[in-house]
């Protein structure tokens, strides 16, 4: 398994990140345990979760599953870089969500308890909180770092200017600030090329793309158009709108002799700003198949054809829309 630095840090993580959002809702605890064990066998050492995963408010179902897996021992905790998130609604009270110092502190303690560990390697803000000043957020994060409960801090779903604002404020406080940003990024969702990716480059922030296959739409949607989630009305509507692109894309993949899922992942990995796309397997086959994306090289001609099928915003701002 290839590894790379997480942003500007000295920490090395696998080029694929194991996303655990399906652990609980889609995969049983036994299946989840098996996939995490297999991920370690394959050299995947980067595991991502969130306190809201499991979708039962306040319970942290997925974190609990990971905690019980690590509690089995065998060096499981020591072998992984564990990332979780804070922001989402974890109760009915007015302070049970967001990025207030009050909620960050409480949410961190709750995650540590559910995960059965004494520290979180990468603590990510799941969304920007426009109602909380950065001085308050960084004060809370600095305290957690001093206590050894958090090692690195990352963000998710931030705009480019949020990354700049956060890291400039952190620098003024003598704090490391954000080391990673988790954004939606795939062939059909390329908005972050305008400002988020340039901000990540400028500040040494590693990019961790979520939904690199657009919830499976880039994994052969036309071949399996009536299965699982693809049978939902909103998914069928998306397929109908993008059918010409999907037909061209899947035809190109057949020409290359690779599955659409592998080509889509390989395209994301190709970007030098990307640390590791998040793969969210529901089955062992999906987990093992994803490794192929690290083995293939997309030549300039193929990259150009993918750009024709799935055009981006035109590059970075402002050149994408102005002189």
Query: Domain with 181 in it: what CATH number?
Result: 3.20.20.100
pTM of this structure? 0.94
Q: What is the pLDDT of residue 215?
A: 87
Cα–Cα distance measured from residue 322 to residue 32, given in angstroms and rounded to the nearest whole number: 48
Instruction: Indicate the pLDDT class of residue 225, thresholds 50, 70 and 90.
Output: low
Mean pLDDT of 85-97: 96
pLDDT score for 283 = 86
Separation between Cα atoms, residue 7 and residue 179, nearest integer Å: 6
Residue 237 belongs to some domain of the structure: no
Range of the domain at 132: 3-220+259-302
Residue 240 lies in a domain: no
Confidence of residue 227 (pLDDT cuts 50, 70, 90): low
Q: Would you say residue 276 lies in a domain? A: yes
Whether residue 224 is predicted with pLDDT greater than 70 in this model: the reply is no
Region 91-116: mean pLDDT is 97
Residue 246 lies in a domain: no
The answer to whether residue 317 sits within a structural domain is no
Is the model's pLDDT at 263 over the cut of 80? yes
> Has residue 202 been placed in a domain?
yes
Percent of the chain surpassing pLDDT 70: 97
239 in any annotated domain: no
Please check the confidence at residue 229 and state whether its pLDDT lies above 60: no
Q: Tell me which residues are annotated as active site.
A: 53
Strand order, beta sheet including 178-182: 206-207, 178-182, 150-156, 120-125, 81-86, 46-48, 17-19, 278-279
Q: How many domains does the chain have?
A: 1
Phi and psi based region of residue 313 (left: phi greater than 0; alpha: psi -120 to 50; beta: remaining): alpha
Q: What residue spans of 173-317 are helical by DSSP H?
A: 196-203, 233-256, 260-270, 284-289, 300-309
Mean pLDDT (whole number) for 109-128: 98
User: Using 50, 70 and 90 to split pLDDT, how confident is the model at 231?
Assistant: low
pLDDT at 278: 97
Rounded Cα–Cα distance for residues 158 and 166 (Å): 10
């Amino acid at each position: 398994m290839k590894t790379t630095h997480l942003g500007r840090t000295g920490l090395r993580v696998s080029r694929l990140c194991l996303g655990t959002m399906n652990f609980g809702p889609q995969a049983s605890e036994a299946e989840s345990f098996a996939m995490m064990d297999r991920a370690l066998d394959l050299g995947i050492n980067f595991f991502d979760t969130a306190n809201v995963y499991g979708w039962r408010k306040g319970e942290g179902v997925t974190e609990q599953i990971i905690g019980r897996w690590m509690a089995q021992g065998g060096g499981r905790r020591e072998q992984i870089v564990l990332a979780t998130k804070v922001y989402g609604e974890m109760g009915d009270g007015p302070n049970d969500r967001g990025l207030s110092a009050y909620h960050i502190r409480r949410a961190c303690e709750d995650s540590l308890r559910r995960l059965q560990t004494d520290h979180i390697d990468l603590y990510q803000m799941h969304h920007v909180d426009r109602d909380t000043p950065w001085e308050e957020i960084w004060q809370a994060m600095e305290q957690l770092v001093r206590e050894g409960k958090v090692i690195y801090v990352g963000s998710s779903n931030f705009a480019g200017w949020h990354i700049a604002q956060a890291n400039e404020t952190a620098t003024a406080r003598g704090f490391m600030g954000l080391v990673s940003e988790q954004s939606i990024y795939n062939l059909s969702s390329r908005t972050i090329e305008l400002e988020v990716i340039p901000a990540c480059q400028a500040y040494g922030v590693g990019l961790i793309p979520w939904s690199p296959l657009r919830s499976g739409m880039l994994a052969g949607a036309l071949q399996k158009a009536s299965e699982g989630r693809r049978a939902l009305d909103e998914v069928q509507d998306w397929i109908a709108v993008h059918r010409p692109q999907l037909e061209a894309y899947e035809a190109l993949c057949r020409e290359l002799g690779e599955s659409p899922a592998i080509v889509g992942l390989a395209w994301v990995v190709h970007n030098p700003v990307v640390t590791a796309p998040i793969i969210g397997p529901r089955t062992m086959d999906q987990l093992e198949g994803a490794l192929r994306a690290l083995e293939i090289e997309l030549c300039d001609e193929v990259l150009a054809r993918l750009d024709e099928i799935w055009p981006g915003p035109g590059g970075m701002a402002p050149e994408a829309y102005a002189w």
